[in-house]
Amino acid sequence: MMPPTAAPAAAPNPTPPPAVQAKTSHPNIVILVADDWGFSDVGSFGAGYATPNIDALAHAGVRFSNFHVSGSCSPTRAMLQTGVMNHRNGLGNMPETIPPEHVGKPGYDTVLNHRVVTIGDILRAAGYRTYLTGKWHLGSDATRLPVARGYDRAFSLADAGADNFDQRPIEGMYDTARWTEDGKPATLPRDYYSSRFVVDKMIDYIDGGAASGKPFLASINFLANHIPVQAPDSDIARYAAMYHDGWTALREARTKRAAALGIMPENAPMVMMATTPDWSKLSADERKAAARVMQAYAGMATAMDREIGRLVAHLKATGQYDNTVFVFLSDNGPEPTDPYNRLRNRIFLNIEYDTSFDNIGRRNSLSAIGPGWASAAASPLSGYKFSAAEGGLRVPLIVAWPGNAKIRASVISNGFAHVTDIVPTLADLAGVPLPGGTWDGKAVEPVTGRSLVPMLEGVEGSVHGDAPLGYELAGNAALFRGRYKLVRNLPPIGDGGWRLYDIGADPGETRDLSAAMPDRFAAMQADYRAFAQENGVLDMPPGYTADEQINRYAWEHQGRKRAIQAGAVLGGILAALIALLWVWHRRRRARNSLAGG
């Protein structure tokens, strides 16, 4: 089925300020970070739903089809902010997924450490205005919020996710939704919807500082499409006729579209994940509910795209569009976690949310696409979020600078690229220096990424050449070298064994070359061991999985929360009893006094 006709982008602010962009070689920079979008979750990468505004940026610039991030959000965001590998910037693991044995170990701070410099720091020192809105998830104390890490203004969320319609946390994970503005607790507006709000706030910041004439950095970090999957009713309704054929059919359709677009090689082999449920074995009601979740997911993506279009329209109206570098990416692959896959979860969530069919994807829902649709969202790749498979690490990247003739337009780059490359790329485009081994008089980690500007300007292949680049998160690990990838995935995605793939010809990781190429296999294993030693990578405890650790984190959190609540109730009862005893005692003394008088 063809996607619905794209809705026009919303109009910009009715009375935009006059164009005051300084006549400078320094461009504005807009970083657009999607949350948990899979490789083919953009129209110009193969999605069947409407993302016309992101696609317009793709056609104005370069699409990277071989771009890699981390398997989870915080490590990616830390590398995106710093250009430094996650074990060296403090995000060897996240608070929600770190095993107790690793807490406090070097590189496992679970927050952005103070040995790195952010892109906000770098550009502010070069005279930029620096703004951030949306998800942060890199630390919540006063020294780690965005305004302490290089941003002039910031309205940010310290948690992994939150409700998209209300100032409400993901129930079971957090007590509150920790939103702050400029480092102080903040209140969301009554008509809040996450994607609209983070763009509204960013436009306010940009306009508020326009009179300075300085270029700006705008880092916009959407909650879409993180759990809970929620979208406006009209956006869900436009996809009502779609997704009834199931995730296997969608995965195949997206694979064909990605090949037709030139994003993937023709006839690249594809496999379904072993953890993907069999659509044909679901009941009619289960298939109906599953289709509705994916309709909400598509609606959430389209709602986010509409807000990007509104920002772009505003920049055009204020004369700033041509001199703006746009970077769009996802923080990791699609989320496979099903919050309802355990009985105790279902009991709790049925109390906290309206889980009826009619409310799927709406206010007061906790909807998730699960492993079936996640497999389709990553199509034609294998795996998804948390894994080191391509479906967990390879995501869409778009870089455009509409007014710069040197940056190619409507081009696909197939060369390997990495999230640590974004900071040096932006510094290169902005004409500002990167920090060396020191910053503001103290030692810092040097940027390890490489500028992608040669690839943006037409150089074929990768700026990394044949240099090895290692990665590890929660036991899932990879080593990239040229077109080859050494990879290990723990259960349930893998068996803990190492495999070797040619991800240029076989991005779906279907043919293990370890036996056919033993010398390369051994050499890349040695490369990985060197990376792990240099970066202080720790082995995972036996039996560890990220999914189990998240559930353990949630239930431990709930146990503490319920204990506090129970203690408050018991304390209230005890206080009431003491008060009653005190009143009874006073009245008894009064009666005795009268009797004695």
Within a domain: 363: yes
* Catalytic site includes residue 59: no
Do residue 265 and residue 307 come from a single domain? yes
Query: Exposure string (b/e) for 473-505, b if CB count within 10 Å is 16 or more?
Result: bbbbbbbbbbbbbbbbbbebbbeeebbbbbbbe
> Are 130 and 147 spatial neighbours (Cβ–Cβ below 8 Å)?
no
585 is catalytic: no
Number of other residues whose CB lies within 10 A of the CB of residue 232: 21
Q: Give me 312's structure tokens.
A: 């772009």
Domain identity same for 436 and 560: no
Q: What is the pLDDT of residue 9?
A: 41
Same domain, 482 and 459: no
Query: pLDDT exceeding 70 applies to what percent of the chain?
Result: 89
Block residue for tokens 């030139």: 262
Which of 134, 26, 41, 7 has the alpha carbon at shortest distance from 80? 134
Handedness of CA 58, 62, 67, 73 (dihedral sign): negative
452 with 518, same domain: the answer is no
Same-domain pairing of 595 and 529:
no
Q: Are 403 and 359 in contact (CB under 8 A)?
A: no
- Active-site residue, selected from the candidate residues 26, 73, 87, 314: 73
| Separation of alpha carbons 293 and 297, rounded Å | 6
Largest CA distance in the chain: 107
Is residue 224 domain-shared with residue 273, that is, in the same domain? yes
The per-residue pLDDT for 23 is 42
Q: Is the pLDDT of residue 573 over 70?
A: no
Residue predicted with more confidence, 21 or 277: 277
Cβ distance 57 to 510 under 8 Å?
no
Domain with residue 318: its CATH number is 3.40.720.10
* Per-residue pLDDT, 551: 83
Token pair in block for residue 109: 């701070």
pLDDT band of 588, cuts 50, 70, 90: low
Contacts of residue 59, Cβ cutoff 8 Å, sequence gap at least 6: 44, 409, 410
The answer to whether residue 20 sits within a structural domain is no
* Residues 116, 75 contacting (CB under 8 angstroms): no
The pLDDT, as a whole number, for residue 11 is 40
The answer to whether residue 444 sits within a structural domain is: yes
| pLDDT value for 586 | 66
Q: Which residues pair with 216 in a beta bridge?
A: 129
pLDDT tens, residue by residue, 456-485: 999 999 999 999 999 999 999 999 999 999
Question: Band of the pLDDT at 535, cuts 50, 70, 90?
Answer: very high
Look at the alpha carbons of 518, 521, 523, 525 in this order and tell me if their dihedral is positive or negative.
negative
Query: How do residues 119-137 score in pLDDT, each as one tens digit?
Result: 999 999 999 999 999 999 9
CB 372 within 8 A of CB 277: yes
Q: Are 128 and 215 in contact (CB under 8 A)?
A: yes
What average pLDDT does this structure show over 499-521? 97
Total number of domains in the chain: 3
Would residue 333 count as lying in a domain? Answer: yes
Residues 416, 554, single domain; the answer is no
Final residue belonging to a domain, choices 431, 447, 472: 472
- The pairing of beta strand 62-64 with beta strand 411-413: parallel
pLDDT of residue 364: 98
CATH number, position 510: 3.30.1120.10
Q: CB neighbours of 26 closer than 8 A, spacing ≥ 6?
A: 126, 127, 128, 215, 430, 431, 432
Residue-wise over 117-133: b if at least 16 C-beta within 10 A, else e?
Answer: bbbbbbbbbbebbbbbb
CB atoms within 10 A of CB 22: 14
Residue numbers of the domain that contains 400: 28-472
Q: What is the pLDDT of residue 585?
A: 60
Nearest to 225 by CA among 33, 361, 34: 34
Do 380 and 498 belong to one domain? no
The rounded mean pLDDT for the chain is: 91
Write down which residue in 505, 535, 565 finishes a domain: 535
With respect to residue 355, please indicate whether it lies within any of the assigned structural domains: yes
Distance CA(273)–CA(296), nearest Å, equals 23
Are 33 and 164 found together in one domain? yes
What's the CA gap between 594 and 597, in Å, rounded? Answer: 5
Let me know whether 513 and 459 are in one domain.
Answer: no
pLDDT of 383 strictly over 60: yes
Alpha-carbon distance 415 to 310, whole Å?
Answer: 31
% residues pLDDT > 90 (the chain): 83
Residue 296 shares a structural domain with residue 397: yes
In a domain, 5, yes or no: no
For the cut 60, the answer to whether the pLDDT of residue 559 exceeds it is no
Question: Does residue 4 form part of some domain?
Answer: no
Amino acid type, 267: N
pLDDT digits (tens, 9 = 90+) for 292-317: 999 999 999 999 999 999 999 999 99
Which residue among 488, 511, 535 closes a domain?
A: 535
Cα–Cα dist 326/306, whole Å: 16
Answer for the pair 251, 375: CB distance below 8 angstroms, yes or no: yes
440 and 337 share one domain: yes
Residue whose structure tokens are 């701070």: 109
Asked whether the predicted pLDDT for residue 25 surpasses 50, the reply is yes
Does residue 12 sit within a domain?
no
- What pLDDT is recorded for position 12? 41
Kindly tell me the number of DSSP H helices and DSSP E strands found in the chain. 15, 18
DSSP string, 228-261: S----HHHHHTTTTSSTT-HHHHHHHHHHHHHHH
Which residue among the candidates 137, 226, 418, 464 is catalytic per the annotation? 137
